[in-house]
Amino acid sequence: MPDWLPLARPSVAAEELDGETVLYDPQGRRLLVLNESGSAVWRCCDGSTTVAGLVDHLAGALGVASGAIADDVVDFLMALRDSGLVVDSARDGHSSPGTGAAG
């Protein structure tokens, strides 16, 4: 499992509506709607929780084994990172505003 600290890029605006999250990326000038699962992952991208910690937190919240969701969560995080919506807070030198998804 990748070992990085996902952080939602600060310039991306996020608004929750009926369990879904609408993201607006002003740099890419794009709008993205996340379903409930994607929204749960997005909320955990606080820059202080590792990918493994994020998977464990979500698995606990859903009442499933971490292994059951790990591949999907990692794939989604990688897609967010590849699209520039999420960065690695440790590598990219961003400070994290939160205390961790599990905290």
* pLDDT for position 94: 57
Instruction: Strand 20-25: give its sheet, edge to edge.
Output: 13-17, 20-25, 30-34
* pLDDT for position 97: 43
* pLDDT for position 93: 60
DSSP type of residue 92? T
Amino acid (1-letter code) at residue 52: A
| CATH superfamily of this structure's domain 6-85 | Coenzyme PQQ synthesis protein D (PqqD) (1.10.10.1150)
Burial 15-27 (b: 16+ CB within 10 A, else e): eeeeeebebebee
Chain segment 28-77, per-residue pLDDT in tens: 999 999 999 999 999 999 999 999 999 999 999 999 999 999 999 999 99
- Mean pLDDT computed over 13-41: 95
